[in-house]
Amino acid sequence: MISEEKTCTRCKKSKSTDEFGKYHSPRYNVSGFQSMCKGCTAYLSNIRYHSNPAANLSQKKASAKWQAANLPKVYANQKRYRERLAAKNNTVLKTIPIYYAANIQAREEITQDSSIVQLDL
């Protein structure tokens, strides 16, 4: 990908477009990229989050209240997320049970081996 240059409106530094977030719709910005670089966006987001803990707490409470009132929607969203994740990582999810099945005997030998010292913490 050919990297173009863009100037951040906050730090005023000219940076590669790889360092700017993308807009999915060109109606917000002609270039298709956000006006602030990712570093400045993250910095301001962090400042905003830590400057008003009461607002963050009230948002968390409101979210928990909505989730409690809309459990079917929450469960449907979680199911959709798990299905997308499974499709994305299909090969990994398929190999994990095979790995564990192939190593059952080795795990049993390790747990029964008296030379291994188990620490109680």
What backbone torsions phi and psi does residue 36 show, to the nearest 5 degrees? Answer: -105, 150
Instruction: Using DSSP, state whether 35 is helix, strand or coil.
Output: strand
pLDDT digits (tens, 9 = 90+) for 10-62: 999 999 999 999 887 666 667 788 889 999 999 999 999 889 888 888 999 99
Structure tokens at 120: 């109680």
Domain ranges of the chain: 5-49, 64-107
Q: What is the model's pLDDT at position 115? A: 55
pTM of the predicted protein model: 0.50
- Residue 27: phi and psi, rounded to 5, are -70, -20
